[in-house]
Amino acid sequence: MSFPYKHVLLIGATSGIGKAMADHFITQGIAVTAVGRRQERLDAFLTLRSAFNAHPTIDCVFLNAGTQSQALFNHPESVDLATFNREVTINFTAQVALVHAVLPHLLNRTGRSGLIFTGTPVTIVPAFPAPAYCASKAALEAFLICLREQLRDTNVKVQHISPGPVQTEFHPQFGMPLKDFSEETWTGLAAGDADIYPGCVGGSTKEQWLELVKVRDAAVARMTGLLRKVMG
């Protein structure tokens, strides 16, 4: 199977993972319309409207925007709640708003359309110094699991990338090289994998991590089956 999309709107494309994936898409002959990650500096919804008007061929939206900071509640005087709430907005509520904004375009297309999300393993195994990041990304992952099921009978497919540490501005000194991340992620996207797990979470082997994900996914499938039966 090959990557089915021809024109990707990539939100969060100016650095790190987003820039690496934009470059990789281009080398594969995929058109990319890039939007910067720092959404507080632009009107995201006007940008979306203008992007779709200028590029009606967009058939995939890649939601990669994110930010991370420490919040140490054992020193509450050091915690800036405005920064905490801003992080939750960028990582979660803004993503939900963007999905709501782009779905009419994607659902109205006659061919296959896609939504791609960048997640993180700390949604399941939290990293205690970064509670806003872990909680907001966990909320996003729960949202996309629900969204995937709601869209299962439509033309819009949901893919989720959950990489371990990658050498970006978040942590330039450790993690997998960006090139390795891009290649492993591209392989999963082109194969049509619903969930892609490049690298591994800190403190666990990849096999241990995937076993944990397998248990979670089986529980989600049981819950989904029960709800489908109850809802008719």
Domain residue extents for the chain: 7-205
Residue 201's alpha-carbon distances to 23, 70, 189, in angstroms, are 25, 18, 20
Q: What is the mean pLDDT of residues 118-130?
A: 94
CA-nearest of 84, 204, 201, 224 to 142 is 224
How high is the pLDDT of residue 232?
Answer: 83
Each residue's pLDDT tens digit, 128-145: 999 999 999 999 999 999
If you search the block for the tokens 């993690």, which residue do you land on? 175
CATH 3.40.50.720 fits 7-205, yes or no: yes
pLDDT of 206: 85
120, pLDDT greater than 80: yes
Comparing 108 with 48, the larger pLDDT belongs to 108
122/51 Cα distance (integer angstroms): 32
> In residues, how long is the chain?
232
Q: CA 167 to CA 108: how far, in whole Å? A: 38
pTM to 2 decimal places: 0.92
Secondary element (H or E) of residue 195: strand 195-196
Residues 66 and 39: their CA atoms lie apart, in Å, by: 10
The answer to whether residues 73 and 79 touch, using CB atoms and an 8 Å cutoff, is yes
Check whether 107 has a pLDDT greater than 60. Answer: yes
The pLDDT tens digits for 153-205 are 999 999 999 998 888 776 667 778 888 889 999 999 999 999 999 987 777 88
pLDDT at 39: 47
- Average of per-residue pLDDT across 101-122: 95
Task: Judge whether residue 42 has pLDDT over 50.
Answer: no
> In Å, how far from its chain's centre is CA 54?
24
